Amino acid sequence: MTLSDEELDALATDFIRTAVAEDTKSGRFDRRVRTRFPPEPNGYLHIGHAKALNIDAGIARDFGGKFNLRFDDTNPVKEEEEYVDGIVNDVRWLGWDFGNEIFFASDYFEQMVVWAEQLIEQGDAYVDDLSPQEIREYRGTLVEPGENSPYRDRSVGENLDLFRRMRAGEFPEEACVLRAKIDMASPNLNMRDPVMYRILHQSHHRQGDQWCIYPMYDWAHGLEDSIERVTHSLCDLGYRDHRPLYDWFLDRLGIYHPQQIEFARLFMTYTVLSKRKLLQLVEGEHVQGWDDPRMPTLTGMRRRGYPPEAINAFCDRIGVSTANSVVDVALLEHAVREQLNEHAQRVMGVLDPVKVVIDSYPEDQVEWMEVDNHPQRPGLGKRTVPFSREIYIEREDFMEDPPRKYYRLAPGKEVRLMNAYLVQYKTIVKDEEGNIVEIHCTHDPNSRGGEAPDGRRVRGTLHWVSAAHALDAEVRLYDRLFIKENPEEAAEGETFLNNLNSNSLEVQQGCKLEPSVAEAQPGDCLQFMRVGYFAVDPDSTAEQLLFNRTIQLRDTWAKIQSQAQTPRKKG
């Protein structure tokens, strides 16, 4: 697929795409586009990675190019197979096409050594015997230049011999390293003779014990990109200062040279996105694992019920720039609601049930009401829902002494039971503690389906579930994990862990769901009308239904009420 210059111009929607379009038009890379996503398999992917993926893979897709999924597995001490599988799974879930070929940096180790020897022969690299501590001291500081290592001027022959012996396993860890010979006085610390290889007597998750020297990121990354003929190597702003080094290695080697371009990482309100902190949440058991629905990990969001389309739509909307910014989590939630509103089937479920007895309704009668699966999308079909004399409604849908503008059930009021009947309040029954046990109503038999026979206006419409047919379920209600917009903002001596929301998980037992819900499969996300979206948990069974609240519906009534309690200040 070859794009015309006009088509390329149309794709130049942000600074990276503009650069890619220009390079393609100029023929710099033979009008070819190839990107890559290079995670290190040392943790699970999170929403920030979804942004990177959206840029990397999205550009390849839009420019008719190719996209490589490549594991940057150059550090055996931190990496595990478990993470490889998890990451592949997440990338697939988001829907990105990586051609079903998975690349591994470790597959290039042999070629990297050949190139390292080339650099040694050119006098561009040397084996340094300084200890880690000494290397740090020789490096200088931000404002002082570094000093040359006393081993910097070894002969090519000696360097080659030493490097080969490093590889052969003759030295213990930390005995020596291979370094690039650049400039110890460079104002860019990355250029002060960076380490290329360190000795690690560790077995690698894919290479086993074949290696005892492992390449450092700066040395390895450009080579990986070069081998894969990547055209544009996109990474986060943190690597901006590394680009001169990326270019230096490729130039010295005289090999195919991709273009590195950096963009800002994603930050979001009420969430933390650093691997270290996410790991702390898991290991400190502040959440129940990487896939806890409160986690910003892709596996967590999947369990929560967030559709992958929503995550990608979110990434499309936040844009790409080089400014550090904090995106409002409400934007993500908006994308989730938008997707779910369009696609989620509607059902009725009562989270906090209170029984309603319709005195006027025949005792043993059951009517199966025909109901739309999605009122705005008739194409999604219909189902039947049983109605009977005793039903459950939401406890908060009845008030003995309601405030103004409350148009749910209350003394003297008539409401509509969605798709069933109009009912009128009669009386209530309380237990000794004063809790409402039953609400008694009468129905208008001429209102079957919920239509008022005389056209009278009935404002309130409630969801309900027939008591005799109700399915019991446990529903987990999730709220944001942190109470502060910026979780890092902690008092003296405190950390982000002090900003954890102690009410981020509320388990609700004894919820009552309409029987059709039994057919839902793990992962399915349904709208419980008037309440929110709920996803079937992977642990859910026919005996114990388990739902995770994905997200609430917008709740204008709740907003009105909270405003009534705390009036907004007027200036």
Partner RNA sequence: UGGGGCGUGGCCAAGUGGUAAGGCAACGGACUUUGAAUCCGUGUAUCGCACGUUCGAAUCGUGCCGCCCCAGCCA
Residue 563 interacting with RNA (CB under 7 A): yes
Which residues are CB-contacts of 156 (< 8 A; sequence separation ≥ 6)? 120, 121, 123
Question: Per DSSP, what are the bridge partners of residue 358?
Answer: 441
Stretch that binds RNA, among 53-61, 209-217, 277-285, 496-504 (CB under 7 A): 209-217
Q: Choose which of 407, 438, 467, 477 interacts with RNA (CB under 7 A).
A: 407
Containing 513, the helix (H) or strand (E) segment is strand 505-513
The minimum distance between CB 217 and RNA, in angstroms, equals 3
Measured from the CB atom, the residue of 292 and 421 that comes closer to RNA is 421
**Of 61, 252, 275, 426, which residue is the catalytic one?**
275
Specify the amino acid at residue 473. A
For residue 362, give the 3-state DSSP assignment.
coil
Residue written as token pair 């005995």? 175
Specify the amino acid at residue 441. C
Stretch that binds RNA, among 147-155, 290-298, 400-408, 540-548 (CB under 7 A): 400-408
Stretch that binds RNA, among 112-120, 240-248, 280-288, 425-433 (CB under 7 A): 240-248
Q: By the 8 A CB rule, do 55 and 88 touch?
A: no
In angstroms, the CA 537 to CA 526 distance is 12
Stretch that binds RNA, among 25-33, 210-218, 253-261, 542-550 (CB under 7 A): 210-218
- Please indicate whether residue 229 is annotated as part of the active site: no
Q: Is 362 exposed, middle or buried (0-12, 13-18, 19+ CB in 10 A)?
A: exposed
Measured from the CB atom, the residue of 35 and 292 that comes closer to RNA is 35
Residue 453 interacting with RNA (CB under 7 A): no
Residue 201 interacting with RNA (CB under 7 A): no
Stretch that binds RNA, among 54-62, 149-157, 170-178, 355-363 (CB under 7 A): 170-178
Stretch that binds RNA, among 56-64, 216-224, 278-286, 292-300 (CB under 7 A): 216-224
Site for RNA in 354-383 (CB under 7 A): 374-376
The minimum distance between CB 99 and RNA, in angstroms, equals 21
Residue 223 interacting with RNA (CB under 7 A): no
Measured from the CB atom, the residue of 410 and 536 that comes closer to RNA is 410
Residue 323 interacting with RNA (CB under 7 A): yes
Q: By the 8 A CB rule, do 513 and 467 touch?
A: no
The full 3-state SS of 107-136, as one line of letters, equals HHHHHHHHHHHHHHHCCCEEEECCCHHHHH
Which residues are CB-contacts of 172 (< 8 A; sequence separation ≥ 6)? 199, 201
- What 8-state DSSP symbol labels residue 409? B
For residue 527, give the 3-state DSSP assignment.
strand
Measured from the CB atom, the residue of 302 and 337 that comes closer to RNA is 337
- Please indicate whether residue 484 is annotated as part of the active site: no
Measured from the CB atom, the residue of 179 and 389 that comes closer to RNA is 179
Residue 72 interacting with RNA (CB under 7 A): yes
In angstroms, the CA 497 to CA 224 distance is 38
Q: Choose which of 239, 290, 392, 496 interacts with RNA (CB under 7 A).
A: 239
Q: Choose which of 170, 328, 359, 472 interacts with RNA (CB under 7 A).
A: 328
Q: Give how many residues touch RNA by CB under 7 A.
A: 88
Q: Choose which of 162, 199, 336, 526 interacts with RNA (CB under 7 A).
A: 199
Residue 8 interacting with RNA (CB under 7 A): no
Measured from the CB atom, the residue of 97 and 241 that comes closer to RNA is 241
Q: Choose which of 289, 450, 510, 515 interacts with RNA (CB under 7 A).
A: 450
Site mask for RNA (CB under 7 A), range 37-66, x = bound: -x-x--------------------------
Site for RNA in 134-163 (CB under 7 A): 135-136, 139, 141-143
The minimum distance between CB 333 and RNA, in angstroms, equals 7
- What 8-state DSSP symbol labels residue 204? B
In angstroms, the CA 13 to CA 11 distance is 6
> In 10 A of CB 486, how many CB atoms?
15
Site for RNA in 261-280 (CB under 7 A): 264, 269
Residue 9 interacting with RNA (CB under 7 A): no
Residue 334 interacting with RNA (CB under 7 A): yes
- Please indicate whether residue 40 is annotated as part of the active site: yes
Question: Per DSSP, what are the bridge partners of residue 178?
Answer: 127, 197
In angstroms, the CA 354 to CA 337 distance is 28
Measured over all CA atoms, what is the biggest interatomic distance in the chain, rounded to whole angstroms? 102
Residue written as token pair 């942190």? 482
Q: Choose which of 28, 165, 201, 405 interacts with RNA (CB under 7 A).
A: 405
Residue 306 interacting with RNA (CB under 7 A): no
Q: By the 8 A CB rule, do 474 and 544 touch?
A: yes
Site for RNA in 475-494 (CB under 7 A): none
Q: By the 8 A CB rule, do 83 and 76 touch?
A: no
Stretch that binds RNA, among 246-254, 313-321, 491-499, 509-517 (CB under 7 A): 313-321
Residue 320 interacting with RNA (CB under 7 A): yes
Nearest to 458 by CA among 440, 475, 446: 446
Helix/strand/coil percent split, the chain, to 5: 35, 25, 40
Residue 565 interacting with RNA (CB under 7 A): no
Residue 400 interacting with RNA (CB under 7 A): no
**Of 152, 252, 265, 448, which residue is the catalytic one?**
265
In angstroms, the CA 4 to CA 228 distance is 25
Measured from the CB atom, the residue of 238 and 522 that comes closer to RNA is 238
**Of 7, 25, 31, 40, which residue is the catalytic one?**
40
Nearest to 34 by CA among 26, 23, 47: 23
Site mask for RNA (CB under 7 A), range 493-532, x = bound: ----------------------------------x-xx--
Q: Is 178 exposed, middle or buried (0-12, 13-18, 19+ CB in 10 A)?
A: buried
Measured from the CB atom, the residue of 238 and 411 that comes closer to RNA is 238
Q: By the 8 A CB rule, do 166 and 128 touch?
A: no
Question: Per DSSP, what are the bridge partners of residue 87?
Answer: none
The minimum distance between CB 263 and RNA, in angstroms, equals 9
Q: Which two tokens stand for residue 329?
A: 């989590």
Q: By the 8 A CB rule, do 290 and 282 touch?
A: yes
Residue 330 interacting with RNA (CB under 7 A): yes
Catalytic residues: 40, 265, 275
